[in-house]
C-alpha cells in the first residue's frame, strides 16, 4: 500500500478507527520487530475494538496485524507483528497535509458485508 492509496480512504474512516491506526503506526516505529499483544489489544480496546468481536477481527486483518506466540524466558508470550510495508506507508502519509482531513467524506462503518 502506498501513501496515495491510503489517502483514498483515510478521511472516510471514523475518528476512533483513525486514532487506533495512528497509535499502531507509532507502536510500529517504536518497536518494528513486534509488540506485546496486550499492548496492541489495549490500543484497539481504547478505540472501541474489543478482543473476540467481529470488529476486532476485521480491524486486525485490515491493519495487517499478525499474532504469534513465542517463548520468552520460558513463558509463552503473545506478540503482535506488523506489516512493515503498510506501516512505513502510513508513516509517510502522516507527514503529509492531506492526513488532516480538511474535507472528510461520510464515515465508513463496519458491516457484515466487510467480512
Q: What is the pTM of this model?
A: 0.81
Mean per-residue pLDDT, 4-30:
88
The mean pLDDT value of the chain amounts to 86
Strands (E), 1-115: 35-36, 65-72, 75-82
The model's confidence at residue 101, banded by pLDDT at 50, 70 and 90, is confident
- Please tell me which residue, 115 or 2, carries the higher pLDDT value: 2
Q: Residue 23: CB partners within 8 Å, gap ≥ 6?
A: 43, 46, 47
| Per-domain boundaries in the chain | 3-99
Amino acid at each position: 500500500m502506498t501513501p496515495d492509496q491510503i489517502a483514498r480512504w483515510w478521511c472516510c474512516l471514523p475518528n476512533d478507527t483513525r486514532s487506533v491506526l495512528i497509535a499502531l503506526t507509532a507502536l510500529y516505529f517504536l518497536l518494528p520487530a513486534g509488540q506485546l499483544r496486550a499492548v496492541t489489544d489495549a490500543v484497539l480496546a481504547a478505540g472501541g475494538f474489543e478482543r473476540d468481536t467481529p470488529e476486532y477481527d476485521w480491524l486486525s486483518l485490515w491493519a495487517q496485524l499478525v499474532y504469534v506466540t513465542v517463548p520468552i524466558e520460558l513463558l509463552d508470550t503473545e506478540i503482535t507483528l506488523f506489516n512493515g510495508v503498510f506501516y512505513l506507508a502510513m508513516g509517510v502519509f502522516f507527514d503529509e497535509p492531506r492526513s488532516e482531513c480538511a474535507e472528510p467524506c461520510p464515515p465508513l462503518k463496519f458491516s457484515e458485508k466487510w467480512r
